[in-house]
C-alpha cells in the first residue's frame, strides 16, 4: 500500500539546485502570466521547471601538461514547439541556476518570434582570458563530447553567447561531426561562413535591439524630436546598436565598456570613439566626453537607456534616480523585479529582453534552415526576413499589452506562455 499523502503527490515541493534567484525571478514572471491568462495550472506546471539539466565535469590538458577540470552545463527548458535552441557561455558566473534561467528566457523568445524551437542554454565555468586558444579548443571539444547525447540538428542547436564566438561553434560542429562520421552543419549556428554560417548573424542581435528601440519609440510617440540614447556595454551588441541608432537620427550621448563610461549631452562622435578603441583596445581615456563609472552612466539624463552588458544593473537602489523615458533591454534581465515596479510607477516604459534581443536566436534559426536546405540567402534577404519577424513580434506584444491592460514585460511573457500552452494542450501529457 502506498502511504504517501495525496496532497504531497499533487503538490510536490521541488527544491532543486537550479532554483537560483535568477531562475525564480523568471519563473515568477511565468506564474504571473499563468494567472493573467487564467489557464489550467496543471497543464502549465511542466513549464515551471527545466525539462532536463545536465552537469558535466570537463577535464582538459593545459599547455604546461597539467590537467584542469571545469564544470559544464546544458539545460533544456521546454520543447513543446520544437528542438531546443540556446547559447553557450564561458564565464566564471556560469552555474546551473543561471543557465536554467536563461534557458527559460529562450523558450519565451522563441515563442514570441514564432520560431519552431524550445529554449536551452549552456556554458562552462571558466575565465577564457586565462586560457590560450589551444586550451580553449581542448576544453570546448571535451565539453562537446560530454554533452553530445543532447545535441543534434533535430534535438538541440547551440549558438554563441558570452565569451564564445564563431571559432567556438566551429570546434563544436567539428567535434560533433567527427563523432557522427559525416559533416552536420546545422548542429550549431553562429559558425564561420566558410563552413555554412549565415551572413549578418554577428550583427543580428544589435540590429534587432536598434529596430525594437525605433519601433517602441514610435509606438510611445517619443519621436517628436531627436532622441538621446545611452548605451551601457559597448560590446558586440552595444556597438552595433550605437551605430544603427546613430545612422537613424538618434543622438548617442553615453556609452561604456568594462573600463567605465563616457557621457556628452551634446552627443558622442562614434567615428572618433572607434578610432580611439582601435588604438587603445577600450574607451578609457577618450576625450569626447566626461568620464563616469558604469553605474553613474545609467543615471545620466537621456530619452532612451539601452543596457547591453550584464544582468540586474537596474535595481531598487537606482531605479528611482534614472532620468530616461524608456529602457530597452539589450542584455538578459538587466532590470530586476523591484526596479520594474518603481519604473512602472514612474511611467518609464520598459521593452523587455525577450522581445528586444530576440533577433540573435531568430538569425540563428535562419542559419539552421539554410544549413538543412543547403541553400543560402543573401544579406538583403536575411535582413528583410528578420525585420518582418521583428515588426510582427513587436506588433503582437503591443496588441497583447492593450488586450490584457498590462505592461510590455508581462504582455510579452504571457504571449509566449499562451503559445507554448496551446502546443501543450494539443500534444497532451504522456503517458
Q: What is the reported pLDDT for 10?
A: 46
Separation of CA 213 from chain center: 16
Which residues, in sequence order, are CB contacts of 348 under 8 Å at separation 6+? 322, 324, 325, 326, 327
Cα–Cα distance for residue pair 14/181, rounded to 1 Å: 41
Cα–Cα distance for residue pair 111/81, rounded to 1 Å: 8
CATH code of domain 15-181: 3.40.50.10860
Which residue reads 587603445 in cell numbers?
280
Name the β-bridge partners of 262.
255, 291
Q: Name the CA dihedral angle for 69, 94, 283, 334, rounded to a multiple of 10 degrees.
A: 180
Q: Could you report the per-residue pLDDT of 352-392, keeping only the tens digit for each?
A: 999 999 999 999 999 999 999 999 999 999 999 999 999 99
Strands 349-351 and 251-257: unpaired
Inter-residue contact 363 to 204 (CB < 8 Å): yes
Cα–Cα distance for residue pair 285/269, rounded to 1 Å: 15
Q: What is the reported pLDDT for 6?
A: 36
Q: What is the pTM of this model?
A: 0.92
What are the residue ranges of CATH 3.40.50.10860 in the chain?
15-181
Q: What is the reported pLDDT for 15?
A: 66
What are the residue ranges of CATH 3.40.50.720 in the chain?
203-351
Inter-residue contact 92 to 127 (CB < 8 Å): yes
Residue 199 grid cell: 551572413
Q: Could you report the per-residue pLDDT of 231-266, keeping only the tens digit for each?
A: 999 988 999 999 999 999 999 999 999 899 999 999
Strands 52-61 and 67-78: antiparallel
Residue 9 in this model has a pLDDT that exceeds 50: no
Dihedrals φ, ψ of 76, to 5°? Answer: -105, 125
The pLDDT confidence band at residue 106, using thresholds 50, 70 and 90, is: very high
What mean pLDDT is predicted for residues 8-26? 73
Q: Could you report the per-residue pLDDT of 274-311, keeping only the tens digit for each?
A: 999 999 999 999 999 999 999 999 999 999 999 998 89
Cα–Cα distance for residue pair 118/103, rounded to 1 Å: 9
Q: What is the reported pLDDT for 199?
A: 85
Q: What is the reported pLDDT for 314?
A: 97
DSSP state of 64: T
The pLDDT confidence band at residue 5, using thresholds 50, 70 and 90, is: very low
Best CA proximity match to 359, nearest among 196, 236, 224, 187:
236
First to last CA, the chain: 23
* 203-351: CATH superfamily: NAD(P)-binding Rossmann-like Domain (3.40.50.720)
Residue 383 grid cell: 535582413
DSSP state of 32: H
Inter-residue contact 200 to 383 (CB < 8 Å): yes
Question: If you count them, how many residues does the chain have?
Answer: 431
Q: What is the reported pLDDT for 414?
A: 97
Cα–Cα distance for residue pair 68/375, rounded to 1 Å: 41
Cα–Cα distance for residue pair 234/258, rounded to 1 Å: 9
Cα–Cα distance for residue pair 211/359, rounded to 1 Å: 10
Amino acid at each position: 500500500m502506498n502511504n504517501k499523502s495525496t496532497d504531497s503527490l499533487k503538490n510536490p515541493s521541488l527544491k532543486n539546485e537550479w532554483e537560483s534567484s535568477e531562475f525564480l525571478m523568471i519563473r515568477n514572471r511565468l506564474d504571473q502570466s499563468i494567472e493573467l491568462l487564467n489557464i489550467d495550472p496543471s497543464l502549465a506546471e511542466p513549464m515551471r521547471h527545466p525539462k532536463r539539466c545536465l552537469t558535466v565535469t570537463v577535464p582538459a590538458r593545459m599547455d604546461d601538461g597539467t590537467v584542469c577540470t571545469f564544470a559544464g552545463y546544458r539545460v533544456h527548458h521546454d520543447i513543446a514547439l520544437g528542438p531546443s535552441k540556446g547559447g553557450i557561455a564561458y564565464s566564471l558566473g556560469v552555474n546551473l541556476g543561471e543557465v536554467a534561467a536563461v534557458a527559460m528566457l529562450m523558450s519565451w523568445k522563441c515563442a514570441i518570434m514564432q520560431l519552431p524551437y524550445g529554449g536551452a542554454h549552456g556554458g562552462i565555468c571558466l575565465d577564457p582570458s586565462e586560457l590560450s586558444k589551444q586550451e580553449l579548443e581542448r576544453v570546448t571539444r571535451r565539453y562537446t563530447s560530454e554533452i553530445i547525447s543532447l545535441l543534434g540538428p533535430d534535438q538541440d542547436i547551440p549558438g554563441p553567447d558570452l565569451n564564445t564566438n564563431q571559432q567556438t561553434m566551429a570546434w563544436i560542429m567539428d567535434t560533433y561531426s567527427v563523432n557522427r562520421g559525416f559533416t552536420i552543419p546545422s548542429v550549431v549556428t553562429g559558425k564561420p561562413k566558410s563552413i555554412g554560417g549565415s551572413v549578418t548573424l554577428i550583427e543580428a542581435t544589435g540590429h534587432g535591439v536598434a529596430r525594437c528601440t525605433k519601433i517602441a519609440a514610435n509606438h510611445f510617440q517619443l519621436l517628436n524630436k531627436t532622441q538621446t540614447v545611452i548605451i551601457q556595454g559597448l560590446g558586440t551588441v552595444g556597438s552595433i546598436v550605437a551605430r544603427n541608432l546613430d545612422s537613424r537620427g538618434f543622438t548617442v550621448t553615453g556609452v561604456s565598456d568594462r573600463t567605465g563610461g563616457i557621457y556628452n549631452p551634446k552627443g558622442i562622435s562614434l567615428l572618433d570613439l572607434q578610432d580611439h578603441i582601435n588604438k587603445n583596445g577600450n574607451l578609457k581615456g577618450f576625450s569626447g566626453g566626461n568620464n563616469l563609472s558604469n553605474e553613474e552612466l545609467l543615471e545620466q539624463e537621456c530619452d532612451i537607456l539601452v543596457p547591453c552588458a550584464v544582468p540586474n544593473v537596474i535595481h531598487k537602489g537606482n531605479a528611482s534616480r534614472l532620468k530616461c523615458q524608456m529602457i530597452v533591454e539589450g542584455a538578459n534581465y538587466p532590470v530586476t523585479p523591484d526596479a520594474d515596479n518603481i519604473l512602472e510607477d514612474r511611467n518609464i516604459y520598459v521593452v523587455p529582453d525577450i522581445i528586444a534581443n530576440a533577433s540573435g536566436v531568430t538569425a540563428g534559426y535562419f542559419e539552421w534552415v539554410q544549413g538543412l536546405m543547403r541553400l543560402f540567402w543573401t544579406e538583403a534577404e536575411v535582413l528583410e526576413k528578420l525585420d518582418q519577424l521583428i515588426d510582427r513580434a513587436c506588433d503582437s506584444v503591443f496588441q497583447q499589452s492593450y488586450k490584457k491592460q498590462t505592461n510590455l514585460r508581462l504582455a510579452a511573457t504571457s504571449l509566449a506562455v499562451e503559445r507554448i500552452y496551446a502546443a501543450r494542450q494539443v500534444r497532451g501529457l504522456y503517458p
